[in-house]
Structure 1
Amino acid sequence: MRVACVGAGASGLLLAYKLQRSFDNFSLVIYDKNPKISGTWYENRYPGCACDIPAHTYTWSFEPKADWSAVYAGSDEIFAYFGAFADKYSLHKYVKLQHLVTGAKWNAAVDAWDIDVIDLTTGEAHHTQADILINASGVLNKWAWPDIAGLQDFKGTLLHTANYDRSVNLTGKRVGLIGNGSSGIQVLPTIQPQVAKLTTFVRRATWIAPTRGFEQHFYSPEELKTFATDPAAHLAYRKQQEVAINSIFPMFLADSEVQSATFGMMTQRMQEKLQGRAEALAPSLIPTFGVGCRRITPGVGYLEALGKENVEVVYGEIERVTERGCISSTDGREHEMDVLICATGFDTSYMPAFAIIGEEGRSMKQEWVQEAKSYLGLAVAGFPNYFVISGPNSPIGNGPVLCFIEAQFDYILKLATRWQTENIRSFSPKREAVEDFIAYKDQFMKTTVWEHSCRSWYKSNSVTGKVTALWPGSTLHYLEAIAEPRYEDWVISYKGNRFSWLGNGFSQTESDPTADWSYYIRYHDDSPFTGRKKALQVLNKAGTIDRSTSMDTISI
């Protein structure tokens, strides 16, 4: 089984681990354009870059890290975590760095993907084939300069957070910052103490709060020692954080009591952190739309930094950029600066960075011309043997993140093992199954704050567009939904007789003289339950938690 993967970030490395752990007789090549692994955690090096969920939840479920320095760990630590993961399980051998995938086309004659790759170190073009193609390049991967007139006329230092140059010294400089999304909110308090003047251009309000009560906290030597020497205590702490994040979902329901209570509480907290400037800043900075319509960020130190003497907040759009700075459309003034930092996000259209052609010569651009439509966030109709990780309508903002990526790969590899063992030529989701899923998703989204009137990358950076980024439910809901493939939703074609995989009549057990040929004989019935509810109750340890008194129920 030949598998090709685009992207050696967290997802690509997990694929390598899972294939290596569970499969024999396969080849895997992971192509990545960067000179190092870890994807977004290699690329994003801007001041203050960190994960916006607690670090102990930003690990693979089976691969904890005891020595995170803080609740919200910086990007360098996260980069090191995935590097250590690759080292521990010898995953580098699958990766081709500085190799850019430029195109992929389904070849029906051989039931495989023809893939075009450029070696960025030599400029040499390569052509290869794969039976299964996986796009693990991520959601927030394609950055671009903001569409502002005169941007390239600026004579000072121009930076983008997604391509940041750490050699630039900001000490004593006049700095402009465009954007108050997640990246801008992390940059501002980090650079504020060292710059002479910081002008931040705020285009829209946004909710700022720690995840479910987890304020930033740097772990003490005693805490780090406990995590390192007491696995049970560390596991309990990890689970406490995970449960806290899993419990946020009711907040996203527009008419829920949790949303109403959270709205009032977060408004009060933001006003308190704005301190003496609350009256001036709150009307433009604190949203009127529901909490969660845009992605919430912890905003460690951000609101407090806005009140510093060297910070100027300018609301509204930038009319144009000049050689010396930015002219605000609100006041018409030219704000002069030495350095201009664009924290303006990514292309969130879900369109792959490479040209991809599926069945009957149909491109992904044609398939998604109106809307990015996936099957359960991981496959696309008309594109056989192709998967996308964190695809459209995955639970990217519904709760924990890495656990659902694990579940997506488990789902994918269940199809892969059938391909390898059952004489399958190709599999792709039925178009009617995708349309039914999209119809269900659209109906569900009407009940959520995600459809409130706010500009969000959840809606392809629109105000009123369809929610293409999020799952119609909680993260736990997603884990259960994709626990087992619904094969009736798939078009599966075979090479010859679909039962040829039955082989010579002997079992694989009989072909192994070291195996137990009576493995089914036992003292009691320890077989898994076939009913979904009972099987799930075993998995989630139903009856072991008293939610009314548990510390797991942390209030936001």
Structure 2
Amino acid sequence: MSSVTLTKESHKNPSKFRIKYQDCNAVLGPEHTAQKNIRDELPTVRTSSEVAVIGAGFGGIGAAIKTIQDLKVSEVQIFERYDNFGGTWYANTYPGCASDIPAIWYSFSFALTSNWSRVQPPQYEMEEYIQRVAAQYKLKEKTRFQTSIDKSVYNEDTGFWTVYAHDVKTGQKIEHTTKILLSCAGGLVYPNQLNAPGLENFKGKYMHSAVWDHSVDFKGKNVVVVGNGCSANQIVPALLNDPQYSVNSLTQIARSKHYIMPPVPKILLFVYRLLSFNFYGLALIRWLVILIAELRFPLYKGNGLISKVVRWVNTRASVSYMKKYAPKKYWDLVIPDYKIGCKRLIFDYQYVPALNDPRISLTNVGIKRVVEDGIILENDEFVKADIIVACTGYDVKQSTKIQFSTTKGYNNQEMWTKEGVSAYRTVLVKHLPNLFVIGGPNSATGHASVVMALENGIDYYLKLAKPVVEGKEKSVVVKPEAYDKWHKDIQEELSKSVFGTKFGGCVSWYSDEKENATAFGWSQLYYWYITHFPAYKDLVYEHSDKKRD
């Protein structure tokens, strides 16, 4: 364990810490050209490793480091579609993009940072941290960048996975054989593009917040922002207040409402700087943040006295903040009437005060159609637009469509289509040995750090994979009945929660009409417990052609 000191080079030159627009658009744009660029005429590259990792964001980096450090495995191969580390923090570079969770918690527990510039630092500083950690552990030599995964197949006879991939630039196919496969692909990746009639006729510039084109000049332009979630909360004040953008007008179409909490108290930054003198001081402030966040957890579950009290306190804090700083004319458009936590909480930077800017117009009237020079709202009002920005979120289901199968016919896509998307303790999928999904189904929490959730999954993988790595066992897989019970239990638990349910009173990306495959049903501390104390009775280890419970 060590502390990381940032050079803050990212503040001087942010462009060095973000993906090129054309590369991002090839992977995440509407056409997905990078995934389609496969050339059969080129010779196939064949490689192998003991452990293979899909993705080089927080999950993939953490998994690789822990594999090398804790399992003493040197043969690790990371596959990444982009040309650098970071995942979402490398690809999402819109104005105002920043961590919504305090960075002391939204970072690796084994690589805490002593000099964050803010409690919730900007994207480029987060990306500098990720690159700094990757460099410290020399991961570049173990990473194949600009490589897209097509499918992965497990051979039950040999006990090895074959990963089928291709180079997104050349189209050359790759076949990689590995004993253990880690999927760290992330969830909030593929953007939901704006689905509005006539968008193809728009003569101005259209972009999704997840694929930002920094070459576009916003100064003096009329901008329409569609959406009102976390991304819009950061983009809107940046377009209004940052001299680099300084738009002429901004019309925000907000069809939904969100509970916007007051900014993180400034005292946290003071305490952080006071305790940042060594690693133990940083660990102390990290656990303090975790404790405060966990105290908020009851608002997400049930209707008991404690839940009601915590829910009331947080609802009052949010509504009071919005009423204090937002113009009264917008109260009905921004203050929700569902239970707090049903949609992800937003900790405000400058969005609510920005609603007082005379250049902004907020409406909940939807788009009837897009025309050459603007949009026509459903009430037939015309809004002039030079630029349309879609803050319409992500297609979470698309992130689960990576295919894992076996030579005997098991397939995660078929199972998930028939039974629902799930993973035992968020990590293991039945019938798929030696596959560990880090940040898998039901690993997200509405109040906690995704990095802590990823580390929980990684620590669970380390415990389960150790006998396989040491050669004592051929493979490990969850028992089907344990997998099915977990799926049933967590869905029952989530039905009592506010996460996009009838109980919560809202529609959310957390869940669909069938189930919630996104959120974790209990507290983050309980997540830590179940991933650090495995129930080995729920697992099957295979050794010398014999299965051992």
TM-score normalised per structure 1: 0.83
Residue 535 of structure 2 corresponds to residue 455 of structure 1: no
Deviations, residues 391-434 of structure 1 (Å, cap 9, x unaligned): 11114324233223212111112221111335423322122212
Following superposition, the deviation at residue 445 of structure 1 comes to 2.0
Alignment identity in percent? Answer: 27
Q: 1:456 to 1:364 in 2, by over 3 A?
A: same
Following superposition, the deviation at residue 254 of structure 1 comes to 4.0
Q: Partner letter of residue 495 of structure 1?
A: S
Q: Partner letter of residue 197 of structure 2?
A: A
Q: 1:401 to 1:224 in 2, by over 3 A?
A: closer
Checking the alignment, whether the CA contact within 8 Å between 2:60 and 2:78 is kept in structure 1 is yes
- List aligned pairs for 1:503-514, cutoff 5 A: none
Gaps of at least 5 residues in structure 1 are 500-556
2:224 & 2:298 partners in 1: Cα distance? 38
- List aligned pairs for 1:387-466, cutoff 5 A: 387-421=436-470, 423-450=472-499, 451=501, 452-459=504-511, 462=512, 464-466=513-515
Checking the alignment, whether the CA contact within 8 Å between 2:52 and 2:77 is kept in structure 1 is yes
Partner of 2:337: 288
Residue 92 of structure 2 corresponds to residue 92 of structure 1: no
Checking the alignment, whether the CA contact within 8 Å between 1:71 and 1:217 is kept in structure 2 is no
Checking the alignment, whether the CA contact within 8 Å between 2:254 and 2:363 is kept in structure 1 is yes
Q: SS of the residue aligned with 1:424? A: coil
1:237 & 1:271 partners in 2: Cα distance? 31
Residue 325 of structure 2 corresponds to residue 273 of structure 1: yes
Q: SS of the residue aligned with 1:56? A: coil
2:125 & 2:401 partners in 1: Cα distance? 27
Q: SS of the residue aligned with 1:55? A: coil
Q: 1:25 to 1:355 in 2, by over 3 A?
A: closer
- List aligned pairs for 1:178-193, cutoff 5 A: 178-193=226-241
Residue 124 of structure 2 corresponds to residue 76 of structure 1: yes
Partner of 1:546: none
TM-score normalised per structure 2: 0.84
Checking the alignment, whether the CA contact within 8 Å between 2:345 and 2:446 is kept in structure 1 is no
Residue number among 11, 14, 18 corresponding to 2:66 in the alignment: 18
Q: SS of the residue aligned with 2:51? A: strand
Of structures 1 and 2, the larger Rg is shown by: 1
Partner of 1:525: none
Following superposition, the deviation at residue 465 of structure 1 comes to 4.4
Deviations, residues 327-370 of structure 1 (Å, cap 9, x unaligned): 222x2222111111111111112643533323632332211115
2:267 & 2:227 partners in 1: Cα distance? 26
Q: 1:288 to 1:125 in 2, by over 3 A?
A: same
Q: SS of the residue aligned with 2:72? A: coil
Q: How many residues of Structure 1 are paired with residues of Structure 2 in the alignment?
A: 488
Q: SS of the residue aligned with 2:150? A: strand
Q: 1:316 to 1:418 in 2, by over 3 A?
A: farther
Gaps of at least 5 residues in structure 2 are 1-48
- List aligned pairs for 1:103-182, cutoff 5 A: 103-182=151-230
Partner of 2:255: 203
Q: 1:478 to 1:231 in 2, by over 3 A?
A: closer
Checking the alignment, whether the CA contact within 8 Å between 1:359 and 1:384 is kept in structure 2 is no
Following superposition, the deviation at residue 247 of structure 1 comes to 1.9
Checking the alignment, whether the CA contact within 8 Å between 2:541 and 2:547 is kept in structure 1 is no
Partner of 2:99: 51
RMSD of equivalent CA atoms: 2.2
Q: SS of the residue aligned with 1:284? A: helix
Q: 1:314 to 1:363 in 2, by over 3 A?
A: same
Checking the alignment, whether the CA contact within 8 Å between 1:422 and 1:498 is kept in structure 2 is no
Q: 1:246 to 1:16 in 2, by over 3 A?
A: same
Following superposition, the deviation at residue 199 of structure 1 comes to 0.6
Checking the alignment, whether the CA contact within 8 Å between 2:71 and 2:469 is kept in structure 1 is no
1:431 & 1:317 partners in 2: Cα distance? 45
Checking the alignment, whether the CA contact within 8 Å between 2:190 and 2:398 is kept in structure 1 is no
1:225 & 1:365 partners in 2: Cα distance? 47
- List aligned pairs for 1:314-329, cutoff 5 A: 314-329=363-378
2:404 & 2:376 partners in 1: Cα distance? 41
2:519 & 2:428 partners in 1: Cα distance? 15
Residue number among 351, 358, 363 corresponding to 1:309 in the alignment: 358
Q: In terms of mean alpha carbon deviation, does 147-156 or 170-179 score higher?
A: 147-156
Checking the alignment, whether the CA contact within 8 Å between 2:401 and 2:413 is kept in structure 1 is no
